[in-house]
A and B are shown apart, each in its own frame.
Chain A
Amino acid sequence: SQQGEEDPQALSIQEGENATMNCSYKTSINNLQWYRQNSGRGLVHLILIRSNEREKHSGRLRVTLDTSKKSSSLLITASRAADTASYFCATDAWETSGSRLTFGEGTQLTVNP
């Protein structure tokens, strides 16, 4: 089952604007990860935030995690056309078969030049 649910499903913005994507999940997690997928390619890891962290930065990316609300957000600042891709959150949570990474359905981001 898909634990992470991204919101919105699709987002279209102009170059230079900021893009915010949200992820909600249901169970306790060890960490939450964000990945990007360009059309026809594999997923690329962007950032990992552990359950005891609240915010993390990497270049133009900012990720927050609120474990009390079971939610995370990914902010891309000063977006570029090259940021056009699908973005997935993935939760690492212990299940009966051990820790496993469960991906959401993704947010399709389009950055218009």
Chain B
Amino acid sequence: DAGVIQSPRHEVTEMGQEVTLRCKPISGHDYLFWYRQTMMRGLELLIYFNNNVPIDDSGMPEDRFSAKMPNASFSTLKIQPSEPRDSAVYFCASSFGYNNQPQHFGDGTRLSIL
């Protein structure tokens, strides 16, 4: 079975540019999560969706960050404009149900903002 697929795996761009990260969840999963991992702050939940609807975006750091889920098989996380402090590894995860269910992670996008 295909797992959660993220693209690109690596992204290097200059400050001020728009960055779009993509995620394809596991087919049939109804929850999708976006996380950010840094050495300083560990793994942080940014936003999660249920049936394509954003449920909790309290972890989104600033208005420069936005996320969409236009259909059950695709989600994007966009940063505009990007800043060096946005450099991190961004993970997408999905699950079938939420309570007492494991989350399945993609391999992440390593983002470097110069």
Partners in one complex: yes
Residues of A within 8 A of B (CB): 2, 30-31, 33, 35, 40-45, 48, 50, 88, 92, 97-106
Docked-complex contact B43 and A97, CB < 8 angstroms? no
Q: Would A103 and B42 be within 8 Å (CB), given that A92-B100, A98-B56 are in contact?
A: yes
Residues in B neighbouring A30, C-beta threshold 8 A: 99-100
Docked-complex contact A48 and B4, CB < 8 angstroms? no
- Residue pairs across A and B with CB atoms within 8 Å: the count is 50
**B105 at interface (Cβ–Cβ under 8 A)?**
yes
Residues of B within 8 A of A (CB): 4, 33, 42-43, 45, 48, 55-56, 58, 91, 93, 98-108
Please, could you name 14 A-B residue pairs with CB atoms under 8 Å apart, sorted by A? A30-B99, A41-B107, A42-B93, A43-B103, A45-B103, A45-B104, A48-B101, A50-B100, A99-B98, A99-B99, A100-B45, A102-B45, A103-B43, A106-B42
* A103 to B56 Cα, complex, angstroms: 17
Residues in B neighbouring A45, C-beta threshold 8 A: 102-104
Q: Give, as a whole number of angstroms, the nearest-CB distance from A89 to chain B.
A: 11
- Which of B45, B55, B102 has the most chain A CB within a 10 Å cutoff? B102
- Name the residue on B nearest A49 (C-beta): B100
- Name the residue on A nearest B59 (C-beta): A100
Q: Give, as a whole number of angstroms, the nearest-CB distance from A55 to chain B.
A: 17
